[in-house]
Structure formats: C-alpha cells, structure tokens
Structure 1
Amino acid sequence: MDMLNSDKHVIECKKRCGDVCCVYLLVIQIDRFTEEKRGILEQLDEALGEIREKTIVLFTSGEQLTNNTFDEFIKEADSHLK
C-alpha cells in the first residue's frame, strides 16, 4: 500500500472510531522482531496516536518455537516488542 492510500485509510479509520475507546489487533508471525517491523509499529503509533496501551498482539506460527516456550520467547524479545 502506498503512503497516499495509507493516509486516506488512517483518516477513514479515525472517523469511524471517533472518540470511542478502540483496541488495535496486531497480528505478527513469531520470529525475530526486525527493524522493519519496529518501523511499521512506529508509523502506526504516529498515525493513530499512542496505540501501544490499546494493542492486543496475536502471534501466529507458534510451531516455529521448537527450542523455546512462548514465555521464553517473550523474555528474550526485543524491548520494543515487549
């Protein structure tokens, strides 16, 4: 999605939510939390305004955790992901 369409989409989302309390669902694959993924979160945070406290994270591909439990994965995770 190019940035122009992205901006239009964010504006539309803000109009629909208004002042209503919203929760954001972030779906990411369990793997390394890259700089690119961190950048996307920062862009969303800028566009929507302080989404971190209102975000539920859903991890997919849990079968990739062959050597760790989910709790171990979170303990070792990048501080931005935590």
Structure 2
Amino acid sequence: MYEITLLIALAGAFIVLIISPGPNFLVITQLSFSQSRQQGICAGLGVASGSILWALLAATGLGLVFEQLPWLQPALQLLGGAYLT
C-alpha cells in the first residue's frame, strides 16, 4: 500500500511541474495557437504521460537501490533536509 501512495504523490508532484512554464509549455502553446486546440491537447497529453512515466521509472529504480542499501535512504533524507534549510 505504501508504494501506491508514493507513486500517487510522485504523480501529483510531477503534474505540478508539468504545468509550470518551460520549453514544453512553449511548444504546447505554439501548437495550440498555430494549428489547433486538439494539437495542443495531444502535445500536452504526450508531455504529461512521458514525464510521469519517466518519474515512475526513476522512483522504481531508486526503490531498488534503497532495498539493496537500506542505510542510504536515511542518509539521503538528512542530506536533502540539510540542503533545503
């Protein structure tokens, strides 16, 4: 159950990142204005699904690393907390 919660949280975080302005936003906007709304929606769905898939693959790989090296997760959490403060 913990894995599902983690994956949903990661998907939510990446949805926020996807809607922030950047190169993908510019491409989607350009397609929407120059061609059609449908082209923009298709590009947006492609960017969103690709980004979420990339994040899930990265999280799965990190989970495997944490299974092999259990001491690494608390160390990474401490370093991440120190970086944010």
Shorter-normalised TM range: under 0.3
Higher strand share: 1
TM-score (normalised: structure 2): 0.26
TM-score (normalised: structure 1): 0.26
Higher helix share: 2
Greater Cα radius of gyration, structure 1 or 2: 2
| Bigger RCO (CA 8 Å, 6+ sep) | 1
